[in-house]
């Protein structure tokens, strides 16, 4: 063979009873997920994560060790996020190390302890970290896309490669939200739907770009931490606020420069002369008429259909939302500025003798206010939060009494991290967590073809709390041994290598006592 590893699945073989041909080495069985590949020498399993090298089962991605060096500490400004190097096993004075689950291997099939259960001393406190790569059938990504543009109706299907992999969910302030993945798309549809859902989540969570289409809506390219691309155009700005908020923010700056201002917004269009902000600073009525549903004075809903034009509407001509001016209040020469919530669209009009708006160049006196709106917009970004339920069987890798872990997490006695990155644990039952993928080491995620995503997860707590929740105390190994390459006796695989990464500058050190209520109480 050419030295390249190729994968081989149990189901391709009619496994499990695989008898080796005469003189050929026996295939080894990987039981790190339900696929249970039988892997021939020099080949990898179906997920490309494990291989048979010389008859040994090898976890191919290097074990990732977080390294917090005293000379590049948090907040010094010198630390390079996720600086990567091959781990040489040395621990320098003042250095802290943390074994992440990236490359650690899985607990599956869950009757055995997690691959690494590591003891350490942090600020004089005996701590234990349980480390495993979780296999998540219940997982997905919540994607926040900073744009005013209408991407699709709420509940509209989101597709990748033509397959439905999620839907548009409730929009937030200045952002459109997608809910991708989840157990129904991974397991409840066709084989292709599950495969494409898994592949898309994997790419997105590992920091890659994915192409999505929304039924009845936009075409997107999204990547965590990067500006979204909507219908081929890179989104530049997140809106300064809704139309009403924009009117309020800039009312005083426009006073005396123009007779009327309309801030066009798909959700709440603001009209200066009627708005509370205009009233309190003495703005005179203009007789303007807006074609929309009036909510409160100067705030209008549904002025147009959603779209990718002015302020997230389908408008290309803002005058389409105006009715006739009231001749009792309006006057020839009345000046009107219409602007969108990002300042991307702006136009200036003056009423002629018949009180019809006539477009004119935006006067120099108003240009700074439009520029100020643009200046106040934040750069548009795509945020990807991995969301998963860890309340299932992987808890058995931590404890003989799984609910003990759940309770310990809920009491904050156990700190949960993903690849060393902090997570948000939802209140209520189970361990339902969210993690910002940009705070995790690159390529922290894998997959198995069941299909499910593989994500790193670590549980860190005081040794006494670990004992109390029924932890596998007999399998604890010292951190110093783990960083030198030792692994627990429960493991049936060996590690291919180790790599060191420095933690993201915004990430708290996962074993820091400050993460726990007992430390705060002691203070
Ligand atoms: S898919 Fe991967 S983890 Fe699952 S059995 Fe095969 S090699 Fe092991």
pLDDT digits (tens, 9 = 90+) for 250-274: 999 999 999 999 999 999 999 999 9
pLDDT digits (tens, 9 = 90+) for 293-351: 999 999 999 999 999 899 999 999 999 999 999 999 999 999 999 999 999 999 999 99
Q: Is 45 in the pocket of ligand 1 (CB under 6 A)?
A: yes
Q: Distance, CA 448 to ligand 1 centroid (Å)?
A: 6
> Do 303 and 267 meet the contact criterion of CB atoms below 8 Å apart?
no
32 lines ligand 1 (CB under 6 A): yes
CA of 46 to the centre of ligand 1 (A): 6
Is 448 touching ligand 1 by the criterion CB < 6 Å? yes
What does the DSSP assignment read for 86-123?
E--S---TT-EEEE-STTT-B-TTTTS--SEEEEEEET
What pLDDT is recorded for position 523?
57
Residue 460, phi then psi, degrees to nearest 5: -120, 135
How far apart are the CA of 316 and the centre of ligand 1, in A? 53
Residue 454: CB within 6 Å of ligand 1? no
Peptide bond into 109 cis (omega under 30): yes
Q: Ligand 1 within 6 A of 51 CB?
A: no
Ligand 1 mutation pick, 35, 59, 445, max ligand atoms within 8 A of CB:
35
> How close is the Cα of 29 to the center of ligand 1, in Å?
9
- The backbone torsions φ and ψ at residue 240, rounded to the nearest 5 degrees and listed phi first, read -70, -30
CB of residue 49 inside a 6 A radius of ligand 1: yes
Ligand 1 touching residue 57 (CB < 6 A): no
Q: How far apart are CA 133 and CA 446, in angstroms?
A: 9
pLDDT tens digit sequence for 466-491: 999 999 999 999 999 998 888 888 88
Specify the ligand 1 atom closest to the Cα of 31. Answer: 5
Ligand 1: which atom is nearest the Cα of residue 108? 3
60 lines ligand 1 (CB under 6 A): no
Atom of ligand 1 nearest to the CA of 50: 7
Nearest atom (ligand 1) to Cα of 36: 5
Atom from ligand 1 closest to the CA of residue 10 = 6
SS3 call for 271 = strand
Instruction: Tell me which residue has its CA closest to atom 4 in ligand 1.
Output: 33
Q: Which ligand 1 atom is nearest residue 7's CA?
A: 7
Distance 498 CA to ligand 1 centre (A): 20
13, 38, 45: residue to mutate for ligand 1 pocket, most atoms within 8 A of CB: 45
d(CA 438, ligand 1 centre) in Å = 26
**CA-to-CA distance for 59 and 56, rounded, in angstroms?**
10
Using only the alpha carbons of the chain, give its radius of gyration.
29
How far away, in angstroms, is 10 Cα from ligand 1 center? 9
Q: Check: CB of residue 286 under 8 Å from CB of residue 259.
A: yes
| Cis, bond preceding 16 (omega within 30 deg of 0) | yes
Q: Number of H helices and number of E strands within the chain?
A: 10, 36
- Report whether 200 contacts 208 (CB < 8 A): no
Q: Give pLDDT < 70 ranges for the chain.
A: 1-25, 69-94, 520-523
How far apart are the C-alpha atoms of 433 and 416, rounded to whole Å? Answer: 9
Distance between CA atoms of residues 311 and 346, nearest Å:
10
Mutate to test the pocket of ligand 1, among 50, 59, 137, 451 (most ligand atoms within 8 A of CB): 50
35 lines ligand 1 (CB under 6 A): yes
CA distance 422 to 508: 7
Alpha-carbon separation of residue 209 from 39, 259, 383, 442, 448 (angstroms): 32, 46, 12, 13, 20
40 within 8 A of 8, measured Cβ to Cβ: yes
Residue of the CA atom closest to atom 2 of ligand 1:
47
| Residue located nearest, by CA, to atom 7 of ligand 1 | 45
What ligand 1 atom has the least distance to the C-alpha of 44? 7
Q: If you measure from the C-alpha of residue 41 to the centroid of ligand 1, how many angstroms do you get, rounded to a whole number?
A: 15
Q: How far is the CA of 444 from the centre of ligand 1 (A)?
A: 17
Compute CA distances 282 → 227, 275, 389, 491, whole Å.
Answer: 40, 11, 55, 75
């Amino acid at each position: 063979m050419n030295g390249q590893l190729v994968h081989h699945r149990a189901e391709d073989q009619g496994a499990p009873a695989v008898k080796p041909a005469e003189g050929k080495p026996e295939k080894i069985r990987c039981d790190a997920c339900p696929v249970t590949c039988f892997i021939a020498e020099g080949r990898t399993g179906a997920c490309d994560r494990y291989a048979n090298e010389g008859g040994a089962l090898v976890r191919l991605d290097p074990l990732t060790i977080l390294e917090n060096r005293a000379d590049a500490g948090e907040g010094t400004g010198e630390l390079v996020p996720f600086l990567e190097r091959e781990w040489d096993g040395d621990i320098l004075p003042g250095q802290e190390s943390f074994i992440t689950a990236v490359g650690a291997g899985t607990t599956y099939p869950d009757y055995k302890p997690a691959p690494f259960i590591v003891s350490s001393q942090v600020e004089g406190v005996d701590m234990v970290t349980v480390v495993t790569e979780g296999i998540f059938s219940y997982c997905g990504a919540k994607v926040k896309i900073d744009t005013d543009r209408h991407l699709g109706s709420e509940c509209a299907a989101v597709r990748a490669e033509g397959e439905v992999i999620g839907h548009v969910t409730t929009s937030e302030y200045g952002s459109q939200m997608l809910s991708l993945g989840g157990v129904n798309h991974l397991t409840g549809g066709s084989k292709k739907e599950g495969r494409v859902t898994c592949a898309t989540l994997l790419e997105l969570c590992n920091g890659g770009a994915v192409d999505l289409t929304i039924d009845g809506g936009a075409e997107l390219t999204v990547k965590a931490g990067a500006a979204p691309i909507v219908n081929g155009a890179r989104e530049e700005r997140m809106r300064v606020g809704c139309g009403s908020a924009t009117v309020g923010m800039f009312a005083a700056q426009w006073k005396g420069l123009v007779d009327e201002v309309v801030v066009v917004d798909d959700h709440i269009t603001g009209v200066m002369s009627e708005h509370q902000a205009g009233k309190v600073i003495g703005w005179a009525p203009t007789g303007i008429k807006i074609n929309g549903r009036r909510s409160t004075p100067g705030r209008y809903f549904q002025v147009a259909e959603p779209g990718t034009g002015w302020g997230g509407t389908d408008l290309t001509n803002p005058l389409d939302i105006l009715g006739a001016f009231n001749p009792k209040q309006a006057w020839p020469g009345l000046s009107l500025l219409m602007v969108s919530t990002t300042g991307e669209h702006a136009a200036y009009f003056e009423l002629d003798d018949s009180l019809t708006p006539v477009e004119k160049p935006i006067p120099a006196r108003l240009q700074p206010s439009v520029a100020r709106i643009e200046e106040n917009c934040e750069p548009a970004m795509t945020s990807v939060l991995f969301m998963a339920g860890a309340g299932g069987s992987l808890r058995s890798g931590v404890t003989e009494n799984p609910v003990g872990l759940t309770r310990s997490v809920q009491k904050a006695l156990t700190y949960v991290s993903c690849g060393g990155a902090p997570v948000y644990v939802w209140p209520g039952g189970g361990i339902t967590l969210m993690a910002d993928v940009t705070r995790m080491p690159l390529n922290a995620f894998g997959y198995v073809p069941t299909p499910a995503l593989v994500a790193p997860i670590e549980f860190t707590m005081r040794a006494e709390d670990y004992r109390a929740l029924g932890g596998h105390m007999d399998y604890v190994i010292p951190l110093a041994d783990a960083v030198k390459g030792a692994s627990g006796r429960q493991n049936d695989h060996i590690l291919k290598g180790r790599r060191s990464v420095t933690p993201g500058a915004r990430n708290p050190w996962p074993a820091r006592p400050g993460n726990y209520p007992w430390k705060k109480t002691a203070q």
